[in-house]
Amino acid sequence: MNEEVRAIRGVRDILPEESLKWRIVEDAARELFVRYGFGEIRLPLMEELSLFRRSVGNFTDIVQKEMYVFQDKKGRTLSLRPEATASVVRAFIEHRLFLTRKVTRLYYVGPMFRYDRPQKGRYRQFYQIGVELFGGKSPRYDAEIIMLAYEIFSAIGMPPVQVALNSVGCSLCKTSFAVELKSFLHSRRTNFCPDCLQRMNQNILRVLDCKVPSCRQELRDAPLFSAFLCDSCASHHAEVVKQLSKLNIPFYEDSSLVRGLDYYTKTVFEFLAQDDPNALCGGGRYDNLVANLGGPETSAIGFAIGMDRVCAALPDPSLEPSPVRIIFLGENACNAGCDLVVRLRKEGVNLVVDYDAESLKNSLKSASRESVGLVVIIGENELSSQSATVRNMTAGTQEQVAFTVLSHYLKEHLACIGRTHAEN
């Protein structure tokens, strides 16, 4: 036998039963995005590497360790996108969207790529649903964006989620915080990993993202952003807190939350399920990114929900009933029944045909094994009476149904089987 082909490490297939769950989440999110005034943007999967260096940050783990980087045939250095905010900002600037609306609201759905160590809830190709809102300064936008994510989790019936909230301030706050952090880290530098020692020289704030347990232990005594917020950032944060309380969103302040991307300013947040340290959703404000990438000064805020983790935490939905299966007995019935198949599908019946049926017994056996609810049998007798034999596989009953009313009959009975599925 030839060697079996397999998917590469860290990527996977989402098979139809699981896909159903994904579609439920996507549909719920899309409906809410429209309700909140967001329009869909479809983005390229590849960008120039420099886009991510300039946005996510050159010294972040994502850019340093997790990028899929390659040269195209013209020698351009490209990267598969590790996240979508940078691309949305690039598109916002490139298409001059700031000229058309005071506030621009965009959402996206799609795969991201990070060369991370694959484990439960962590893949090399994973999927995000996210939003970006440009041109909104008020802290009420922060609360509204968090509310939108919260509503998505409620709509899909997620087990309770909590919002962890923090502020990482503006460039001024970050500068004064970095001075204090530097003196703290330097006094203990021998206790940190080699990567952290490098981060201390390159971008000291990224030390706070280190996942090495001994570094995490040391960081427990590190200074906190909250003590370094300027008046304006502190009052912005206080207003976000006030608005979230007003909206009854369960949140807690986590002053160690920094998120591993350079572009965040002021509000940062994560959604977490109980007893799981892996965030289901992450987001925040990034008021400097549009200008840093060559656009006009523009406030912005967004979030990304990790589809893989959310779908893994959701209970299995009731399966959609299988399509009706048609078994033709003989070549003659098959030829004569072609038009009927076309007509039934046009009239809205989901159906498949067993063109390779060798015997009725075997075809019924495989239909039963595959949990098909309704089987339509058409042979010489059915052709001459112009009525099909319809077998209800669950009840084990059979009926003759005239071709003229067959589509109505099948749709009604399929819906009935669907309801029974859902109740079970």
Contacts to ligand AMP by CB under 6 A: 83, 114, 116, 121-123, 126, 128, 279-282, 304, 306, 308-309
Q: Where are the beta strands (DSSP E) in 88-137?
A: 104-113, 125-134
Give least dist CB 45 to ligand AMP, A: 15
Give least dist CB 121 to ligand AMP, A: 6
**Do residues 47 and 89 lie in contact, with contact meaning Cβ atoms separated by under 8 Å?**
no
Give least dist CB 114 to ligand AMP, A: 5
- Of the two residues 62 and 417, which places its CB atom closer to ligand AMP in the complex? 62
Give least dist CB 14 to ligand AMP, A: 13
- Of the two residues 134 and 263, which places its CB atom closer to ligand AMP in the complex? 263
Which residues neighbour 118 within 8 Å (Cβ) at sequence distance 6 or greater? 9, 10, 124
Q: Which two tokens stand for residue 9?
A: 């490490």
Strands, sheet with 77-80, edge to edge from the N-terminal-most edge strand: 46-48, 77-80, 69-71
Residue number, nearest CB to ligand AMP = 306
Residue whose tokens read 């067959």 = 406
Strand partners, 105: 133
Q: What is the DSSP string of 268-299?
A: EEEEEETT--S-SEEEEE-TTHHHHTTS----
Distance of CA 328 to the CA centre of its chain: 42
- Of the two residues 128 and 299, which places its CB atom closer to ligand AMP in the complex? 128
- Of the two residues 21 and 413, which places its CB atom closer to ligand AMP in the complex? 21
Strand partners, 112: 126
Give least dist CB 124 to ligand AMP, A: 7
**Do residues 407 and 398 lie in contact, with contact meaning Cβ atoms separated by under 8 Å?**
no
Give least dist CB 371 to ligand AMP, A: 31
- Of the two residues 81 and 105, which places its CB atom closer to ligand AMP in the complex? 81
- Of the two residues 114 and 391, which places its CB atom closer to ligand AMP in the complex? 114
